[in-house]
Structure 1
Amino acid sequence: MTPRRVVITGIGVLAPGGIGVKNFWSLLSEGRTATRGITFFDPAQFRSRVAAEIDFDPEEHGLNPQETRRMDRAAQLAVVATREAVADSGIELTGIDPYRVGVTVGSAVGATMGLEQEYRVVSNGGLLDLVDHTYAVPHLYNHMVPSSFAAEVAWQVGAEGPSTVVSTGCTSGLDSVGHAVELIREGSADVMIAGSSDAPISPITMACFDAIKATTPRNDDPGHASRPFDGTRNGFVLGEGSAFFVLEELESARARGAHVYAEIAGYATRSNAYHMTGLRPDGAEMAEAIRVALDEARINGDEIDYINAHGSGTKQNDRHETAAFKKSLGDHAYRTPVSSIKSMVGHSLGAIGSIEIAASALAMEHNVVPPTANLHTPDPECDLDYVPLTAREHRTDTVLTVGSGFGGFQSAMVLARPERSVA
C-alpha cells in the first residue's frame, strides 16, 4: 500500500519582528534582526539581558478579555498562529468530519510566564513560604498542564480527532509536526493542525540559562548578539514565538485546489543517550536522524538544496551540526547553502522548530535562502557555506531542517516540492 503523502497548505507565524507570515518573511529575506534589550521585566540582575521579544497585543489580534485572562501568553500565540494558518489554507473545516481533524502542539516550557506571574501573586512576591491560593487566577490549572495548549487549539478549529502535546525540549516544534504527519500517513486523521508555541522570556528562564552560561552576555549590542557559526559567538539569545500549519493528504489538497507550500517528505528523531546538555563532537546522532529522514523521503543527500540549521550560536552546537552535515551529506555539504534564522529571531526553545519549518517552506516558495545575520568572522571549524549577512536567490526544491535539544534529542525533517518524481 502506497503511504499517504502529507503537505503543508496553510502557515501561521508569530515571531519577533514579524507577526504574520508576510512580515516574518520580510524580516528574514531582508536579513534584519529582532533581538533587543529585555523589556518584559527589569533584567539588571542577570548576566544575559537581551532577548527576541514579540510586540504582541492580544486584543489587536482578536482575543477577547476572557480568552486573554484564561490563556498563558504561549497559548495566546498558538491560537493566533492557528487562526492565520487555517485562513491561509482556505480549508472549510466545518465540512470535514471533526473526528478526522486532529491537533499536535509542541512546547518545551509550557505556561512559564503565567506560572511565574501567579507564583509572584500567591506568594506575595516570594515573601510567603505558605502561599495563599485564593489570590490565584481561576484558570491557574490550565497553566499547570501543557495539554491545555492542545485543548485551546482544538476548540478554535472544532477538532475532535487525535489531540497531543509533544515536549522534547528544543526539538518540540519539529517533533510535533513529525507526529502529525505520521497520524495522517497511518490514516488516523485526514487534517492536522500542527505546530508549537513557547513564551519563555521570564526571570526564571533567564536565571536557568544564566546558571549554565548558555545565553550571550553581549548586552551592549543586542541587535548583533546572536551570532551562529561566528568565531566571536558566546551563547544564544532567548526568544519567543509560535508557528502552526494546516497539514493534509496531498490528493485531497489537490482535489480542493489548495495552494501547496511543500510536502513533508521525511522525518526522524534520535537521542544520544549521553548527556542532558552535552553533544558529541562527531555529530553522529544528528547525522543518523538526517540519514533516516532522507531515506523516508527517498531523496539522496546530494539532492538537498538548502539546510535550515539549528544554529543556536553556541560553539558546541555549531561544531556538532557542521560535523553532522558532513557525515550525512558527504562532499555535497560543502556545496549546500546553510543558514540559521536564530541570528534574526533568537531561540524560542520548543517553538523554534516549527518557526524554522515555516522559514524552510517559504524559502521554497520564493526560491530565496535567508541569511545567517551577524556572521562576520567565520569559525574555522565551521567551514560550510553559511550564507552570511545577505539573503541569496537560489532554486530550492528540497530543504533539510534540523533541531537539537537538551536531553540529547536530534531531529531532522525533509521538505520537498510534491511535483518531484517518487519511486
Structure 2
Amino acid sequence: MTRRSVVTGIGVVVPGGANREEFWSRIVAGKPAIRRISRFDPGAYRSQIAAECDFDPAGYGLSPQVIRRTDRFVQMALASADEAVRDSGLDLAATDTERIGVSLGSAVGATIRLEDEYVVASDHGRAWTVDENHLMPFMYQQLVPSSAATELAVRYGAHGPAAVISTGCTSGIDSIGHAHGLIQDGEADVVIAGASDAPISPITVACFDAIRATTPSNDEPELASRPFDAGRQGFVLGEGSAVLIVEELEHARARGARIYCEVSGYAARANGFHMTGLRPDGFELGEAISETVAQSGISPEDIGYISAHGSGTKQNDRHETAAYKRALGDTVRKIPISSIKSVVGHSLGAIGSIEMAACALVIERGIIPPTANLTDPDPECDLDYTPLVSREARVDHALSAGSGFGGFQSAMVFSRVLQ
C-alpha cells in the first residue's frame, strides 16, 4: 500500500511577516516588504535594497546560548519550526522519536556568521594570515550547513533521518520532496521539513552584483521586485524561513490532526547547460512539471493555481513561461499564476518552502495572492500572472515550480485531501 504524505503544520518567518498569519496577510495584500539594506552600509554596491526580516531571535524564545552558537539562518529555522510544531498539534512526548526526521534546505548556510568572523580574524582583510584565537568557539558549526538539521533534531528529539538539502534556489522544494520520499519509503512517519537562508551580507550582494542578477532600482525599493513586468531589472535579495510538518496520512488521521493538503507529486531535473544560464525553451523545468503532474494523477485542467518561481529576471521569467506552455499546453492560459517574490523577495534556498507554505494556505483559504508591481506585462510572458489584486477561487491542486543556479529545476503539487 502506498504511503501518503500530508502537511499538518506550517511555520513562517519572512520579511514583513513574523509568523504564518502575518505572512499570509502580506502576500494576499500584495504589499512588498522591501527596503534599503540596513544591516550594513550598501552604498558601494550596485543593488542596495533587500527584503529584510525584522527578526529578533530572543523574541522567539531562543536562549542566549543558542543565539551565540548559531547563524541567523539556523535561528530563523528554529523559530519557524517551533510555530509549525505548535500548529500541527504534535505531542512530541507521545510520538516515537525514532520515526521523526528532519529535512532542511539552505543554499548558502551560515554566510553572515562566516563573513563576520573572517572580518574579525583578518582585521577587515588586512591580515593574510588570520589568528584563530580571535574567532568564536563555534566556527565548525558555521562551516557545515548540516548544523541546521542537527539543531532542529536536538531541539525536538528527532532520532530519525536528518539531512540538509542544498540545491541552490530549489532547496526549499527539494527538502520537502526529500521528506515526501522518507514518508513514502517508510523511513519516517513525521518529518520536520523546510528551508532557511539569511544571505543579506556584503559578500552575497557583491556576488550578485558581479553577474548583474539583482536589481539596481534602488530609489523606490517597494516597486523594485517586478516579476513578469516589462520594466523589471533583476531580482531583489531576501531572507527568511518556512518549515512544514510533513506526516504520513494515516498517522495524522489517527491523532485527529488538521490536514492542510497532500504532497501529491514531486520531481526534479538538472539542465547541465550553464552555471547561471537557462535554455530559453524551458525544457528541463517543463519535464519536471510534467512528471510532477503525472505523479499527482491529475490533468493540467485540474490545476487551480501555480506559484511561480518568478524571480524578476528577464531570462528566468521567459524560461518559466516557456516551461509552463511546454508542460501544460493551452490549458495553462486558464490557470492563475503569481509570484510572491514580488512581496517577500528572493530568499535563495528558503523561498521554495515559503512558496509551498503559500500553496498550502491557498488550498485551505481559497484566495490567490497577486503578483505585486505587475503593471506592464512583458509580451513574452503572456500568461495570467494575477497582476496587483488577489482573487477568490477554490483550489484543489496547486503547483509550484523552482529554478536554481547550477541547472536545478524542481516542481511540486499540493492537493486537497478528499479521501
Distance 2:189 2:409 in 1: 27
Q: Deviations over 1:8-45 (max 9, x none)?
A: 00000000000100100010111111011100100000
Q: Which residue of 1 aligns with 2:226?
A: 227
Q: How does 1:211-226 map to 2 (within 5 A)?
A: 211-226=210-225
Counterpart secondary structure, 1:244: strand
Q: How does 1:123-162 map to 2 (within 5 A)?
A: 123-162=122-161
Counterpart secondary structure, 2:418: coil
Per the TM alignment, residue 299 of structure 1 is displaced from its structure 2 partner at its CA by 1.0
Distance 2:241 2:133 in 1: 32
Per the TM alignment, residue 71 of structure 1 is displaced from its structure 2 partner at its CA by 0.4
Distance 1:312 1:375 in 2: 13
Q: Which residue of 1 aligns with 2:389?
A: 390
Q: Deviations over 1:340-398 (max 9, x none)?
A: 00000000000000000001111111100000000000000000000001111111110
Q: Which residue of 2 aligns with 1:95?
A: 94
Per the TM alignment, residue 94 of structure 1 is displaced from its structure 2 partner at its CA by 1.6
Distance 2:349 2:384 in 1: 26
Structure 1 stretches lacking a partner, 5+ long: none
Per the TM alignment, residue 126 of structure 1 is displaced from its structure 2 partner at its CA by 1.0
How many residue pairs match? The answer is 419
Q: Which residue of 2 aligns with 1:78?
A: 77
Q: Which residue of 1 aligns with 2:188?
A: 189
Which amino acid letter does the alignment assign opposite residue 140 of structure 1? M
Distance 2:109 2:190 in 1: 24
Per the TM alignment, residue 121 of structure 1 is displaced from its structure 2 partner at its CA by 0.7
Aligned residues: CA RMSD:
0.7
Q: Which residue of 2 aligns with 1:313?
A: 312
Q: How does 1:364-379 map to 2 (within 5 A)?
A: 364-379=363-378
Q: Which residue of 1 aligns with 2:359?
A: 360
In the alignment, structure 1 residue 52 sits paired with structure 2 residue 54: no
Distance 2:244 2:273 in 1: 33
Q: Which residue of 2 aligns with 1:347?
A: 346
Counterpart secondary structure, 1:239: coil
Per the TM alignment, residue 331 of structure 1 is displaced from its structure 2 partner at its CA by 1.0
TM-score for the superposition, normalised by structure 1 = 0.98
Structure 2 stretches lacking a partner, 5+ long: none
Q: Which residue of 2 aligns with 1:163?
A: 162
Distance 1:21 1:353 in 2: 15
TM-score for the superposition, normalised by structure 2 = 0.99
Per the TM alignment, residue 188 of structure 1 is displaced from its structure 2 partner at its CA by 0.5
Counterpart secondary structure, 1:377: coil
Distance 2:320 2:56 in 1: 36
Counterpart secondary structure, 1:59: helix
Per the TM alignment, residue 296 of structure 1 is displaced from its structure 2 partner at its CA by 1.0
Which amino acid letter does the alignment assign opposite residue 173 of structure 1? G
Q: Which residue of 1 aligns with 2:245?
A: 246
Distance 2:188 2:338 in 1: 34
Q: Which residue of 2 aligns with 1:260?
A: 259
Q: Deviations over 1:225-265 (max 9, x none)?
A: 00000000000000000000111111221121111111000
Counterpart secondary structure, 2:59: coil
Q: Which residue of 1 aligns with 2:114?
A: 115
Which amino acid letter does the alignment assign opposite residue 56 of structure 1? F
Could you list the structure 1 runs, at least 4 aligned residues long, displaced by more than 2 angstroms after superposition. Answer: none
Q: Which residue of 1 aligns with 2:67?
A: 68
Counterpart secondary structure, 2:301: helix
Q: Which residue of 1 aligns with 2:417?
A: 418
Per the TM alignment, residue 189 of structure 1 is displaced from its structure 2 partner at its CA by 0.6
Q: Which residue of 1 aligns with 2:272?
A: 273
Q: Structure 1 residues 207-216 or 117-126, which shifts more?
A: 117-126
Q: Which residue of 2 aligns with 1:401?
A: 400
Counterpart secondary structure, 1:134: helix
Distance 1:156 1:320 in 2: 41
Per the TM alignment, residue 338 of structure 1 is displaced from its structure 2 partner at its CA by 0.4
Identity of aligned residues (%): 60
Which amino acid letter does the alignment assign opposite residue 184 of structure 2? R
Q: Deviations over 1:206-228 (max 9, x none)?
A: 00000000000000010110000
Counterpart secondary structure, 1:19: coil
Which amino acid letter does the alignment assign opposite residue 37 of structure 2? I
In the alignment, structure 1 residue 236 sits paired with structure 2 residue 235: yes
Q: Which residue of 2 aligns with 1:28?
A: 27
Distance 2:93 2:158 in 1: 10
In the alignment, structure 1 residue 294 sits paired with structure 2 residue 288: no
Q: Which residue of 2 aligns with 1:9?
A: 8
